[in-house]
Amino acid sequence: MSAATETQREAFYTLPVAGYLQPKEKLVLSAFNQPETTLTRQQLAGMLGWGINVVCGRVNSLLAKKALAVRGTRVDPATHKRQELVGLPVMAQGALF
């Protein structure tokens, strides 16, 4: 058995901790100031002043953590292509009672 390489050790120590949000993930979540707010990744990039690749990575990690949810689509007026809308997860109806 060989010793772990330096990059393997670094990867191990950067594994996500349950419930932990990275600073940029927190900034993405701060854009959703109302439960009904839905935005595209492109809109988030414009609001935050980040490149689309940075936003996509953070949104994908927040979707995996279930901190964000896909909440429909819209047609982009410039490209006429569908874009995914993301927003805060909606509580299940049964949880209201």
pTM: 0.74
CB 47 within 8 A of CB 31: yes
The domains found in the chain, sorted by start residue, are 36-90 (1.10.10)
Digit-coded pLDDT (tens) for 2-46? 677 888 777 766 656 667 889 999 999 999 999 899 999 999 999
Q: What is the pLDDT of residue 96?
A: 52
Nearest CA-CA partner of 55 in 66, 68, 73: 68
- Which band of pLDDT confidence, cut at 50, 70 and 90, is reported for residue 84? very high
SS3 per-residue string spanning the chain: CCCCCHHHHHHHHCCCCCCCCCHHHHHHHHCCCCCCCEECHHHHHHHHCCCHHHHHHHHHHHHHCCCCEEEEEEECCCCCCEEEEEECCCCCHHHHC
Q: What is the pLDDT of residue 72?
A: 95
Q: What is the pLDDT of residue 91?
A: 74
Q: What is the pLDDT of residue 8?
A: 76
- Crossing angle of helices 23-30 and 52-64, rounded to 10°: 90
Checking if the pLDDT of 95 tops 60, the result is no
- Which band of pLDDT confidence, cut at 50, 70 and 90, is reported for residue 92? low
Mean pLDDT of the chain: 87
